[in-house]
Structure 1
Amino acid sequence: MSKVLSFLLMAKVKIFSHLFYRGRANWLSEEKEESLNQVKLLVFLNHTSLFEPLFIRFATWRFVWNVAHRVIVPGADVTLKRPVAGMILKVLLPGCIPITRKPDESWQHFLSHVSQEVITAILPEGRMKRRNGLDKHGKPMTVRGGVAEILERLESGKLLFVYSGGLHHIQSPGERFPRLFKTITANLELVDIADYKQYLIQAGEGNFKSRVVADMNRRLDECVP
């Protein structure tokens, strides 16, 4: 029942996004919507707002159904404890698993759910960008290493990069309500997980995790619209 409710809520968000916002999506890869059913990992870069579910407008209905039924995603425990935002996220994403943002047992618990049978989604920066381009502590936004640990547990399928154009013009951290009739932009890219891992193993310096982080930070700098 929770997965059906998740799909219905995602459908409402998708319809709402189409009704009240303009969308501009650009595919950076030759593979596009037709390969979304092969996605095993979704990496969302440039985390700027709690209203990022609006990006679901760019997904096919089949992919929305798959996400509702098969996605797992780490969610900050402090966010999930919020009375309104937490409740909505739990219904929208029943596969949202609380973590403490520390390398502790909560992260290991999340990793234990990663497999080829589910779609794993992650916002690898691990915190939200403020209007000044920094996190809430005034530190630069960079990718953390958790996404590498997820990749180590996946052998095949597709990795979907969603490069957000940002939502500060719609809702910034700390603002309660979104502004309507704005444009949502994103670059999208599909890559083969096995090929991507092989590329990372052969290129660059350092261990696998440092290579993943370096590549993700490069993408954050170069691929965000």
Structure 2
Amino acid sequence: MQLFRFLAIAGFKILCRMFFRFEVTWVNSIPLTNWRDVKLYAFFNHTSLFEPIFISTMPFHFIWIGSRYASVPVADKTMKRPFVGSLLWFIAPKMISITRKKDETWSGFLNQIDENSIICLAPEGRMMRKTGLDLEGNPMSVRGGISDILLELDDGIFILAYSGGLHHVQTPGEWSIRFFQTVKVRYEYLSIKDYKAQFDTKDSKKFKLQVVKDLEARIKLHTP
């Protein structure tokens, strides 16, 4: 199954490269070329369900490893969408349906994390509309769930993907897709161990506030 999933996703990556231009920049002075130690991939500025096209910016060796070990928490509302839900189930071997509450579905997701897991998620938990706000008209913000994940991880690489947005490609609520657009993303990589060492990991509530504040500052600074 890993080989089949890898070939399909690799084919999707190549196909997207034919229809879109990708502009990838890095916060770090030296780009990360070896993604084998990546344990957490966080995608920020969530604007469209068409964001799987950002797979095209990932190296093939990471796609291969992710085809076996990727674990992705996805809102149950999203998973119930006929086409999108089926596509997401196919992309990752562990696509975990969760509610937007801190309940047993979230606890179940955290409990399945092991030393081989590669966690991929959109920490904001909802999409930005054309207004710059979410569906309810609230400002976008990072939710605290990512701090729970960080507490489960001891080492490895933390990749932060700052999306330039996809409203010019596909807008929520619309079916039309505008091809041959430039898609921007800026990457940053951090040591999970060093990142956590900046904060108070003994107090989970304080740790959550510190992580959220830090990530929101990074989003404002680095989003292309």
The Cα offsets for residues 114-163 of structure 1, whole Å up to 9 and x where unpaired, read as 23211011110000000100000000000000000000011111000100
Whether 1:208 aligns to 2:207 is: yes
Structure 1: unaligned runs, 5 residues or longer: none
Whether 1:56 aligns to 2:20 is: no
Cross-structure match for 1:19: 18
Whether 1:161 aligns to 2:160 is: yes
Q: CA separation in 2, counterparts of 1:48 and 1:218? A: 19
Contact 1:100 1:107 in 2 (8 A): yes
Q: Secondary structure at the match of 1:207?
A: helix
Q: CA separation in 2, counterparts of 1:149 and 1:8? A: 32
The Cα offsets for residues 55-99 of structure 1, whole Å up to 9 and x where unpaired, read as 111111101111111100101111111111111111122311000
Q: What is the deviation of 1:12? A: 2.3
TM-score when normalising by structure 1: 0.94
The Cα offsets for residues 38-65 of structure 1, whole Å up to 9 and x where unpaired, read as 1000011100011111111111110111
Q: Which amino acid aligns with 1:157?
A: G
Q: What is the deviation of 1:31? A: 4.6
Equivalent runs, 1:40-79 vs 2, <5 Å: 40-79=39-78
Q: Secondary structure at the match of 1:185?
A: strand
% same residue:
42
Contact 1:13 1:53 in 2 (8 A): no
- Structure 1 stretches of at least 4 aligned residues deviating more than 6 Å after TM superposition: none
Range that drifts further, 133-142 or 172-181: 172-181
Q: Secondary structure at the match of 1:196?
A: helix
Structure 2: unaligned runs, 5 residues or longer: none
Contact 2:45 2:164 in 1 (8 A): yes
Q: CA separation in 2, counterparts of 1:49 and 1:118? A: 25
Contact 1:5 1:91 in 2 (8 A): no
Whether 1:9 aligns to 2:17 is: no
TM-score when normalising by structure 2: 0.94
Contact 2:36 2:62 in 1 (8 A): yes
Q: Secondary structure at the match of 1:152?
A: helix
